[in-house]
């Protein structure tokens, strides 16, 4: 059996998929299989790629989104390690998979490498220590199977739900390793709703997907293992992320701020209100500081916002 499964969710990507597959086919020093999961397009429509690349192609009967495609790739593959790449992105060099894989030891279950983001003007931005996107990451299958870590069936921010589960289950014997190696290129695409300045997506669909996937992840983890201070910390950090999105919406897209508030209230009711007040009082300033909100006025503003979210008077 080869060492790594490379999984590609594919939908209407004929104009970019060959570039992606070329970047995979040049990988060296690591044995891998490539799985193209076609998300609801006509059966056989990508078979021409087999004339040029060593890949397995699987066709889903209906278009269900990248989460379902990625999960299908996990379920049909068997390799002990898994790496994901989008059908319009590329690995950065012929050693990308090697560097993702080289950091695994007996107690490492997820390696997250840095990646480059191409901006609209083709400038490159280095994304470091990222635990949101699938970009540049490799997962140990045994860890995913042990905790039944799976994608949520959503069309936005499914990455964050999957990676949040991994973070919650990680411990001293099953660790996440943040590597400084740069292994992935997030290519610019003009018609990407995620990458363009689309206020409706940034402060509506995106925050909806974020909340749904965070709630999905935390509920699955708590149902299996209960909560602890690490999970409470992650839950609080996610609420502060939503708070920061709300502040940003007030300046960049005021009409969209109501949607952020709507999903903040959903998140509060679903998971945040379960955290005991004693822990919040103890940890809040630490969590705010970790999110870059360390000034006294940040604490005051957050508490006022939480009073609105919870329905309690400030």
- pLDDT tens string 77-97: 999 999 999 999 999 999 999
The CATH T-level fold of domain 4-186 is: Spore Coat Polysaccharide Biosynthesis Protein SpsA; Chain A (3.90.550)
Comparing CA positions, the residue from 253, 226, 240 lying closest to residue 298 is 240
The mean per-residue pLDDT over the stretch 122-132 comes to: 96
Q: Cβ(175)–Cβ(139) under 8 Å? A: no
Phi, psi (5° rounding) for residue 60? -85, 145
pTM of the predicted structure, to 2 decimals? 0.94
Structural domain boundaries in the chain: 4-186, 199-310
* Residue 185 DSSP symbol: E
pLDDT tier for residue 203 given thresholds of 50, 70 and 90? confident
pLDDT in tens, 136-193: 999 999 999 999 999 999 888 999 999 999 999 999 999 999 999 999 999 998 766 5
> At CA 4, angle to CA 143 and CA 73, rounded to 5?
75
Tokens of 61: 């009967």
148 exposed, middle or buried (CB, 10 Å; 0-12, 13-18, 19+)?
exposed
pLDDT in tens, 204-228: 888 999 999 999 999 999 999 998 9
- Tell me: pLDDT of 279 over 70: yes
Tokens of 18: 């060959």
Residue 190: what pLDDT?
75
């Amino acid at each position: 059996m080869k060492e790594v499964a490379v999984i590609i969710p594919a939908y209407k990507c004929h104009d970019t998929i060959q570039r992606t597959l070329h970047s995979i086919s040049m990988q060296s020093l690591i044995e891998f299989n490539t799985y193209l999961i076609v998300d609801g397009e006509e059966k056989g429509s990508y078979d021409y790629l087999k004339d040029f690349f060593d890949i397995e192609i699987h066709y889903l009967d209906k278009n269900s989104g990248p989460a379902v495609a990625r999960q299908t790739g996990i379920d049909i593959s068997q390799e002990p390690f898994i790496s994901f790449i989008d059908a319009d992105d590329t690995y950065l060099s012929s050693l990308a998979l090697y560097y993702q894989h080289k950091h695994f030891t007996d107690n490492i279950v997820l390696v997250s490498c840095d990646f480059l983001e191409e901006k609209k003007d083709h400038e490159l931005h280095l994304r470091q220590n990222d635990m949101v996107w699938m970009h540049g990451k490799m997962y140990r299958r045994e860890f995913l199977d042990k905790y039944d870590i799976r994608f949520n069936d959503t069309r936005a921010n499914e990455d964050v739900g999957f990676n949040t589960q991994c973070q919650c289950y990680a411990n001293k014997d099953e660790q996440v390793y943040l590597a400084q190696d740069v292994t992935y290129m997030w290519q610019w695409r003009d018609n990407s709703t995620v990458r363009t300045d689309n206020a409706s997506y940034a402060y509506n669909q995106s925050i909806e997907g974020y909340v749904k996937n965070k709630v999905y992840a935390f509920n699955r983890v708590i149902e299996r293992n209960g909560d602890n201070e690490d999970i409470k910390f992650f839950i609080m950090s996610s609420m502060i992320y939503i708070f920061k999105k709300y502040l940003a919406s007030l300046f960049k897209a005021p009409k969209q701020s109501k949607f952020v508030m709507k999903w903040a209230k959903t998140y509060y009711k679903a998971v945040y209100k379960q955290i005991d007040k004693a822990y919040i009082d103890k940890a809040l300033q630490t969590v705010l500081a970790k999110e870059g909100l360390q000034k006294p006025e940040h604490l005051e503003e957050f508490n006022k916002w939480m009073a609105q979210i919870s329905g309690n008077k400030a």
